[in-house]
Chain A
Amino acid sequence: MTDPTTAPTTGSTPAPATASAPVTATPAPRPGDPEITAELVADHGLSPSEYELVLGILGRTPTFTELGIFSAMWSEHCGYKNSKRLLRLLPTEAPWVIQGPGENAGVIDVGDGLAVAFKIESHNHPSAVEPYQGAATGVGGILRDIFTMGARPVAVLDSLRFGDLDSPRNRYLFAGVVRGVGDYGNCVGIPNIGGEVFFDRAYEGNPIVNAMAIGLMKREELITAEATGVGNPMMAVGARTGRDGIHGATFASEELSGDDDVSSRPRVQVGDPFTEKLLLEASLELIGSGHIVAIQDMGAAGLTSAASEMAGRGGSGVSLEMSRIPVRESGMTPYEILLSESQERMLVVAKRGREDEVRKILEKWELEAEPVGEVTDNGHFQIFENGVLVASIPALPLTDGCPTYEREGIEGDDVKVARARDLGHLLEPEGDLSEAFMSLLKSPNLASKRWIYEQYDTTVRTSTVVRPGGDAGVIRFRGSRRGLAATTDCNGRYCWLNPREGAKAAVAEAARNLVCSGALPTAVTNNLNFGNPLKPHIYHQLREAVLGMAEACALFETPVTGGNVSLFNETDGVAIYPTPVIGMVGVLDDVEAHAMTHGFKAEGDAILLLGENREEMGGSEYLYRKEGVVAGEAPIVDLLAERRLQHAVLGLIQKGVARSAHDCSEGGLATALAECAVGSEKPFGVQVRLEDNLAPVALFFGETQGRVLLSVAPEDVDRALDMARDHGVPAVSIGAVGAPGSSFSIRSPRGHLELDIGRVAEQYHATLPALMTRSNGGEPA
């Protein structure tokens, strides 16, 4: 029978497996290579001073191939040159951190001899150009980062942002990204357990597509990507190399301009989740076999980054023979082969003499494995083409010598103006706010995200305990009582108004979501999505956000174990909101007993509010929907109060007192109560009476942080309130869960809402589908 995974073999006779050359050997320019000029250097994204460094490292002019290599490795995407100094400010250590930043993924100890690898990564630019493939390959890449650590991927999450859905283009991008995330993860068979989506005109033209993956392994199965053992063969594994995605890493580090989306298309990679699934199984079998030393995905900057980073980490050298690389197209130059970002490829360092065993495992999974080079002791990254040296670069300066910059950061004037804006008039309406709430529910930022997550397989692997739609997703670990909760969070509006407070809020909300799911917040992976850092106001956002994140992560004892930086997210010079997405995981000691959901459980249960209500409307969804602006002061975050709150909530869940728990976030208290009411199969009624003498708009719709809604059995109210107060957390009983189908009623001294819960539920579920069935609803054939 035909084997669809095997491409026709090329006719040429392979050159000798590898050669090596003394480090003093000078590579020859290839015939046809362009001359190295100042323009060519600039086109490769290297500044004159960076080029000077290159000259210093090499002691000569680079060849065209070498210029391409430096360009990719010293791009922001690989070299982190504008962010590295700031990233050093983040806390990265804790006793439970097994692997911090710098590897394919971070790894933490989760007890019972198990370890979890997890990481988040962006695919913003590719998704702006081709949403389906951009998102799909984003998921593919992050899964490979997980299983190359030796962990089996067990969950994915996606954090997405788009412009407003009234534009057909945004609906097209949104629908395509969701389909891409879904198709890829569904096919590989990894459940999607959560994430977030946000719509705001700031993401017009530059959507955010961040994918997070989580993998599980036994502690001893951990493998790191260090090329060690001189003479060990390096093998290319998986799909063949084509011309797709060449210079994707530099592409990801440039601004998009409004009209180049079509011309950028050839750079976008195409994903093949079927090959990924085979690669996943083959890789885990390889790692378990003991035949290999290291394995790494050929991701951004492809073979170049995989090989040079493995050499850099291992303190060794590598030499690669280009004619041995299995290619999909003929006539590919070393430059193209080295920089191709064709998907579903891995670079493996095998143990010497075990090549056949490696090949046998790959063949079982209908994949190819070809020796393409070897580990050397000369510390150089050396590239041969049919035995002729075409590039020779010291590995360490290439991977670690990328210059880093600390830029000037100054707050933008537009933000100062927006922040100073008086929002007093917003608070004026009092009395019946029922219809105001109904129109708020028409916001896709508040409405149900079911339209999205019903396109994702959420139950494959039969380990999903809490599915998407609540505060955090929860999975169990088979053979252990433990489990893991995971979430992604960030409100870009708060971060734009005040990047430091906004980043703190993102960390705090992520931790709160985990706690509401019954987990102890444990560690963080972050995705810093920002504009062009060369602009002082953007660098200011970046620095402030990192400082806020560092402070919050330190206080919550949730170290950052890795992540991704995506800069230059601008369209026609306009940046997205600063969007430092926090991906956080938390451990549940007893997943069966402690996993918690947000939906009310029984009529007659008491509803408790933990935390304090304040009059804060800055950056709120209510303001954006009502006046189309983002203004005012971002909600303040009191980290110490937040920590007390989280301890209290987790205690109440672990003691079995809380029957449901839900974080209050976008859309305020009214929205959170509605979510609790409709979070079960038949929506419950809600009878709530608040005593706060605040403006009802702020009380119902304001987005004050640090609040959690709990439901408890009526007889447990006093005990629950006492426990909360023992932690120093303000706590009140605000009402009761009503009969299914009864009214949704919230009253305060100055205002009220009174609605049929059926109507609330209907609007909550109808908003997103209604927006997406509009004409040109983004369903390209």
Chain B
Amino acid sequence: MKVAVITFPGSNCDYDGYQAFKLLDGFEPEFRWHRDAALGDVDAVFLPGGFSYGDYLRPGAIAHLSPVMEAVRDFAAGGGPVLGVCNGFQVLCESGLLPGALLRNPSLRFRSHDVHLRVETTRSPFTSAYEKGAVLRIPIAHGDGHYTASKEELAELEGEDRIAFRYCTTEGGLAPESNPNHSEHHIAGILNPARNILGMMPHPERAVEDILGSTDGLGLFESLRAHLSGTLATQTP
């Protein structure tokens, strides 16, 4: 299972994503440069975090015009799974592949710490290995993570079960103090209507080994592997 890890100028979580895929048997991650107009023969795409083009203008705004994004668009249109994390999520919103936008954290400060996420849906290639309602501990590290969208879009996301993760308390409750960037509807990650594109601000690739403090992000990669190999993912609590 080949995974294209996209590197934009200024990406800095591309290597972390690459390493996370490497940890799981079956994945063969490969880097793709932002100028590459074709993805080649790949089974999934990972859009990493970082500061593509220095976040100049708006996070993700310049990157979404890269040649490689045309290829990603085509890949996604054909049903291929695309995972965008942090800056990758911002790129997906800027490119219109996901609705809404990510704005400056209301605290005006970069926030870097572990958060708790509640798995809201298991109906996706990225979340099938989790149990609905499971609480994950995963780091965030971003300055622009306040998710916003129109009322209609938010209603659609809710109505179509397209919210993948919400920020929550350790017990799984929704509270203002557990929503680090005051995202609307506590949104941490969302799916497109076809459910093959996931964008999320927290970094699952940073929570894949005990030595890093959490393995709660592994389920995401396991889900994707199961999806690609056509098997059912084993549910991890």
The answer to whether any beta carbons of A and B sit under 8 Å apart in the complex is yes
Residues of A within 8 A of B (CB): 1, 4-5, 179, 182-183, 186-189, 272-275, 277-278, 365-366, 450, 453-462, 464-465, 467, 476, 478, 591-592, 595, 681, 779
- 8 Å CB interface, B55-89 against A: 55-56, 62, 65-66
Q: Which residues of A contact B53 (CB under 8 A)?
A: 4, 274
Distance from A250 Cβ to chain B, minimum over Cβ atoms (Å): 31
Assess A273 versus B54: contact at CB under 8 Å? Given A366-B9, A460-B13, A462-B16.
yes
Q: Which residues of A contact B51 (CB under 8 A)?
A: 186-187, 189, 273-274, 277
Assess A457 versus B110: contact at CB under 8 Å? Given A187-B54, A188-B12.
yes
- Nearest to A450 among chain B residues (CB) is B113
Q: Which of B10, B15, B211 contacts A277 (CB 8 A)?
A: B10
Assembly CA distance A450 to B141 (angstroms): 14
Known: A1-B65, A457-B141. 4 other contacts (CB 8 A): A182-B110, A277-B10, A454-B111, A460-B12
Are B55 and A187 closer than 8 Å at their CB atoms? yes
Distance from B106 Cβ to chain A, minimum over Cβ atoms (Å): 12
Residues of B within 8 A of A (CB): 9-10, 12-13, 15-16, 19-20, 49-51, 53-56, 62, 65-66, 108-113, 139, 141, 143, 170, 203, 205-206, 208-209, 211-213
Assembly CA distance A651 to B224 (angstroms): 44
Distance from B220 Cβ to chain A, minimum over Cβ atoms (Å): 14
Distance from A479 Cβ to chain B, minimum over Cβ atoms (Å): 11
Assembly CA distance A456 to B62 (angstroms): 24
Assess A465 versus B212: contact at CB under 8 Å? Given A187-B10, A187-B51.
yes
- Nearest to A1 among chain B residues (CB) is B65
Q: Which of B9, B16, B66, B211 contacts A274 (CB 8 A)?
A: B9
Q: Which residues of B contact A5 (CB under 8 A)?
A: 9
Are B108 and A779 closer than 8 Å at their CB atoms? yes
Are A462 and B141 closer than 8 Å at their CB atoms? no
- Nearest to B139 among chain A residues (CB) is A459
Q: Which residues of B contact A465 (CB under 8 A)?
A: 211-212
Distance from A511 Cβ to chain B, minimum over Cβ atoms (Å): 24
Q: Which residues of B contact A366 (CB under 8 A)?
A: 9
Q: Which residues of B contact A179 (CB under 8 A)?
A: 109-110
Are B9 and A278 closer than 8 Å at their CB atoms? yes
Q: Which residues of B contact A453 (CB under 8 A)?
A: 112
Assembly CA distance A464 to B203 (angstroms): 14
Q: Which residues of B contact A186 (CB under 8 A)?
A: 51, 110, 112, 141, 143
- CB-based closest 6 A-B pairs: A189-B12, A274-B54, A457-B141, A187-B51, A462-B16, A459-B139
Distance from A449 Cβ to chain B, minimum over Cβ atoms (Å): 13
Q: Which residues of A contact B112 (CB under 8 A)?
A: 186, 453-459
Assess A461 versus B16: contact at CB under 8 Å? Given A4-B56, A456-B110.
yes
Max chain B C-beta neighbours (<10 A), residue from A5, A274, A458, A462: A462
Q: Which residues of A contact B110 (CB under 8 A)?
A: 179, 182-183, 186, 454-457
Assess A461 versus B15: contact at CB under 8 Å? Given A274-B53, A455-B112.
yes
Distance from A740 Cβ to chain B, minimum over Cβ atoms (Å): 13
Q: Which of B9, B50, B206 contacts A189 (CB 8 A)?
A: B50
Assess A476 versus B111: contact at CB under 8 Å? Given A274-B51, A274-B54, A461-B15.
no
- Nearest to B111 among chain A residues (CB) is A454
Distance from B120 Cβ to chain A, minimum over Cβ atoms (Å): 23
Distance from B89 Cβ to chain A, minimum over Cβ atoms (Å): 16
Are A462 and B205 closer than 8 Å at their CB atoms? yes
Distance from A725 Cβ to chain B, minimum over Cβ atoms (Å): 33
Q: Which residues of A contact B213 (CB under 8 A)?
A: 467
- Nearest to A187 among chain B residues (CB) is B51
- Nearest to A455 among chain B residues (CB) is B110
Are A478 and B9 closer than 8 Å at their CB atoms? no
Are A454 and B113 closer than 8 Å at their CB atoms? yes
A-B contact pairs, 11 of them (CB 8 A): A182-B110, A187-B12, A189-B51, A450-B113, A458-B141, A459-B203, A462-B205, A465-B211, A465-B212, A476-B211, A595-B211
Q: Which residues of A contact B211 (CB under 8 A)?
A: 465, 476, 591-592, 595
Assembly CA distance A323 to B50 (angstroms): 36
Distance from B217 Cβ to chain A, minimum over Cβ atoms (Å): 10
Q: Which residues of B contact A681 (CB under 8 A)?
A: 170
Assembly CA distance A297 to B145 (angstroms): 34
Distance from A368 Cβ to chain B, minimum over Cβ atoms (Å): 14
Q: Which residues of B contact A273 (CB under 8 A)?
A: 51, 54
Q: Which residues of A contact B16 (CB under 8 A)?
A: 460-462
Q: Which residues of A contact B208 (CB under 8 A)?
A: 462
Q: Which residues of B contact A4 (CB under 8 A)?
A: 53-54, 56, 62
Q: Which residues of A contact B109 (CB under 8 A)?
A: 179, 454-455
Are B9 and A462 closer than 8 Å at their CB atoms? no
Are A459 and B212 closer than 8 Å at their CB atoms? yes
- Nearest to B109 among chain A residues (CB) is A455
Assembly CA distance A274 to B53 (angstroms): 7
Q: Which residues of A contact B9 (CB under 8 A)?
A: 5, 274, 277-278, 365-366
Assess A478 versus B19: contact at CB under 8 Å? Given A187-B55, A454-B113.
yes
Q: Which residues of B contact A595 (CB under 8 A)?
A: 211
Assembly CA distance A187 to B50 (angstroms): 7
Q: Which residues of B contact A458 (CB under 8 A)?
A: 112, 141
Assembly CA distance A274 to B139 (angstroms): 23
Q: Which residues of A contact B170 (CB under 8 A)?
A: 681
Assess A189 versus B62: contact at CB under 8 Å? Given A274-B51, A454-B113.
no
Q: Which residues of A contact B56 (CB under 8 A)?
A: 4, 274
Assembly CA distance A779 to B105 (angstroms): 14
- Nearest to B62 among chain A residues (CB) is A4
- Nearest to B170 among chain A residues (CB) is A681
Distance from A61 Cβ to chain B, minimum over Cβ atoms (Å): 46
Assembly CA distance A45 to B3 (angstroms): 59
Are B212 and A464 closer than 8 Å at their CB atoms? yes
Distance from B52 Cβ to chain A, minimum over Cβ atoms (Å): 9
Assembly CA distance A460 to B143 (angstroms): 14
Distance from B64 Cβ to chain A, minimum over Cβ atoms (Å): 11
Assembly CA distance A31 to B64 (angstroms): 50
Are B12 and A462 closer than 8 Å at their CB atoms? no
Q: Which residues of A contact B54 (CB under 8 A)?
A: 4, 187, 272-275
Assembly CA distance A591 to B210 (angstroms): 12
Assembly CA distance A450 to B22 (angstroms): 33
Q: Which residues of A contact B13 (CB under 8 A)?
A: 189, 460
- Nearest to A182 among chain B residues (CB) is B110
Assembly CA distance A456 to B203 (angstroms): 15
Assembly CA distance A681 to B62 (angstroms): 39
Q: Which residues of A contact B205 (CB under 8 A)?
A: 462
Assembly CA distance A209 to B40 (angstroms): 48
Assembly CA distance A406 to B66 (angstroms): 59
- Nearest to B209 among chain A residues (CB) is A462
Assembly CA distance A188 to B49 (angstroms): 11
